[in-house]
Amino acid sequence: MVKEKKVSSRFIYFFGAFGGILFGYDIGVMTGALPFLQQDWGLESAVVIGWITSSIMLGAIFGGAMAGQLSDRLGRRKMILISAVVFVIGSLLSGIAPPDGHYYLIAVRIFLGMAVGAASALVPAYMSEMAPAHLRGRLSGINQTMIVSGMLLSYIVDYFLSGLSTTIAWRSMLAMAAVPAVILFIGVLKLPESPRFLIKNNKLAEARTVLSYIRPKDKIETEIKQIQEMAERERLASQQTSLGTMFSGKYRYLLFAGVGIAAFQQFQGANAIFYYIPLIVEEATGSAASSALMWPIIQGIILVLGSLLFLVIADKFKRRTLLTLGGTVMGLSFIFPAILNAVIPNTNPMMIVVFLSIYVAFYSFTWAPLTWVIVGEIFPLMIRGRASGLASSFNWLGSFLVGLMFPIMTASMPQEAVFAIFGVICLLGVLFVQVRVPETRGYTLEEIEKIGERKQAKRNSA
């Protein structure tokens, strides 16, 4: 039963969103820890470095899929608590890795990644079910702000711990991720369950109590009725939908558009910067990566400012316009260093870092948040659950492959050439947006579905 003691809406929204900070923290912490880990264990294998860095994303692929299923059975709140416990255990186990324990650390980070994937799925779901309708449009942007704030926090912690001895430094960085996880656990203990989950499980009295915390009294019964109607529609949709339904002619166009956007967001190479910026600076300047930990903080500040900018402009520009602008500048920011290096061989090596900062700035208010806005808008109700899960899986797969392959690629070709490849992918992403992605701003879900049907009909008749 829900406790009678009222929980303030601010408390609910703060700790509901806090999972995004934890998610971002665990994504970013390896950026500062990796240079010290390399020194301590004498890591030279690009494959091992790639696996240690990207293994958390491999776990996230499975964690996100399982969290969605389990949260429908156990509840959003309980699954967030379980994820926080996994965060704590995984972080502490990472910090006590045995000397030269490559495979141990990879296995632990896969385990930790399951919590990362769960958080990425559960936090937006919980927040969207708790927030009033007029705030839901901002949730993707707010969640992105929380994630990048978590990344920035991890970069700052890494910077201040970098003065410790090599062994203690990286172990402390990884283990410190347990602290925000404990804070999340304590806060979520006091959170109520999602009213949507309660209503779907026929706990109407508890749902009314929860809604009384966060809604005006005269709105409660209306919202309960709306939730019941939507739950029934989704139940009927799930019964009538199979995997084959997603790929049918009626839905294929929108499916490919949403999944394609999610995949391009990662294959454009953003995480190569976020994971490896100290090593990128080391490659460019020859200075030790462990002394370049101010650069992740700079990138983190840019990410946070960009996410805040998105909150201001999100509904003032068309989705396709922002994606085209961002993807074009991102692609050119990756390609220009290779051109400059070919034309002027003695160009200042830090020029590539300047261009990477321009890339991060435009990524932060375009592709980073807009991907999930579009994924939330573009799928018709009949395929929304399965299609959103597929888009998330492709996004995590892209993140995993970029994290794994970047050190391998830079070991076999110049750094500028690697980023030029990512630049071409960015421009291909722009082309994909122009050809395959319909505009979704200002359209209802039903109107978007009709756009997809018309587009697919044209392709079938061509």
* CATH code, 244-462: 1.20.1250.20
The C-alpha angle 170, 56, 259, rounded to 5 degrees, equals 145
Q: Which pLDDT value is given to residue 134?
A: 60
Residues 224, 156 contacting (CB under 8 angstroms): no
Write the CA distances from 129 to 22, 244, 275, 382, integer angstroms: 20, 29, 32, 19
For residues 63-92, average pLDDT? 87
Res 1: pLDDT: 43
- N-terminal to C-terminal alpha carbon distance within the chain: 58
- Residue 4: pLDDT over 50: no
For the residues 438-456, what does the mean pLDDT come to? 78
Number of Cβ within a 10 Å radius of residue 446: 10
Cβ neighbours around 100 below 10 Å, total: 12
d(CA 380, CA 388): 10
Model pLDDT, residue 5: 56
Task: Round to whole Å and give the CA distance between 127 and 16.
Answer: 6
Q: 301 or 282: whose pLDDT is higher?
A: 301
**Confidence (pLDDT) at 49:** 94
DSSP 283-317: HHH-S-GGG-THHHHHHHHHHHHHHHHHHHHTTTS
What local confidence, expressed as pLDDT, does residue 462 receive?
Answer: 62
Dist CA 80 CA 95 (whole Å): 23
Give the residue with greater pLDDT, 344 vs 261: 261
Amino acid at 168: I
* 95-131 per-position pLDDT tens digit: 999 999 999 999 999 999 999 888 887 877 787 777 7
Q: How confident is the model at residue 268 (pLDDT cuts 50, 70, 90)?
A: very high
Does residue 316 carry a pLDDT above 50? yes
pLDDT of residue 2: 43
Core vs surface per residue 237-265: b (16+ CB within 10 A) or e: beeebeeebbeeebbbbbbbbbbbbbbbb
Lowest model confidence (mean pLDDT) among 135-139, 186-190, 256-260, 439-443? 135-139
What CA–CA distances, in Å, run from 433 to 302, 330, 395, 450? 25, 14, 16, 18
State the average pLDDT over residues 344-350: 78
CB proximity list for 452: less than 8 A, separation 6 or greater: 250, 251, 253, 254, 257, 378, 380, 438
The phi and psi torsions of 426 (rounded to 5 degrees) equal: -60, -45
Using alpha carbons, list the distances in angstroms from residue 425 to 93, 214, 337: 37, 44, 16
Amino acid at 411: A
Token pair belonging to 166: 């090599």
Amino acid of residue 441: R
Residue 292's CB is within 10 A of a number of other CB atoms, namely 21
Q: What is the residue type of 452?
A: G
Report the alpha-carbon distance of residue 62 to residue 70 in Å, rounded: 12
pLDDT at 388 over 90: no
- Length of the chain in terms of residues written: 462
- 120 close to 26: Cβ distance less than 8 angstroms: no
Question: Does the 7-191 domain belong in CATH 1.20.1250.20?
Answer: yes
**Mean of the per-residue pLDDT values of the chain:** 86
Q: How many Å is the maximal CA-CA distance in the chain?
A: 71
Identify the residue whose tokens are 């400059």. 340
Q: Report the C-alpha gap between 276 and 327 in whole angstroms.
A: 21
Is 159 a residue whose pLDDT tops 80? yes
Q: On the CB side of 435, how many CA atoms lie within 13 Å of its CA?
A: 9
pTM of the model: 0.87
Question: What ranges do the domains of the chain cover?
Answer: 7-191, 244-462
Q: What are the start-end ranges of the H helices in 413-444?
A: 415-436
Token reading at 24: 């971002």
| Chain-centroid distance, C-alpha 373 | 12
Residue 328 has a pLDDT of: 98
- Give the residue among 211, 283, 227, 249 at the shortest CA–CA distance from 456: 249
Give the pLDDT score at 452. Answer: 77
The model's pLDDT over 397-425, given as tens digits with 9 standing for 90+, comes to 999 999 999 999 999 998 889 999 999 99
pLDDT of residue 3: 46
Q: pLDDT tens for residues 222-264?
A: 888 888 887 777 777 666 666 667 777 778 888 999 999 999 9
Segment 420-432 shows an average pLDDT of 97
Residue 187 has pLDDT above 70, yes or no: yes
Whether the pLDDT of residue 167 is over 80: the answer is yes
User: CA–CA separation, 444 vs 221, rounded Å?
Assistant: 24
- Whether 163 has a pLDDT exceeding 80, the answer reads yes
| Two structure tokens written together for 123 | 């936090």
User: How do residues 358-387 score in pLDDT, each as one tens digit?
Assistant: 999 999 999 999 998 888 788 876 777 678
Look at residue 444 and give its three-state secondary structure.
coil
- 82: part of which helix (H) or strand (E)? helix 76-95
pLDDT at 210 over 90: no
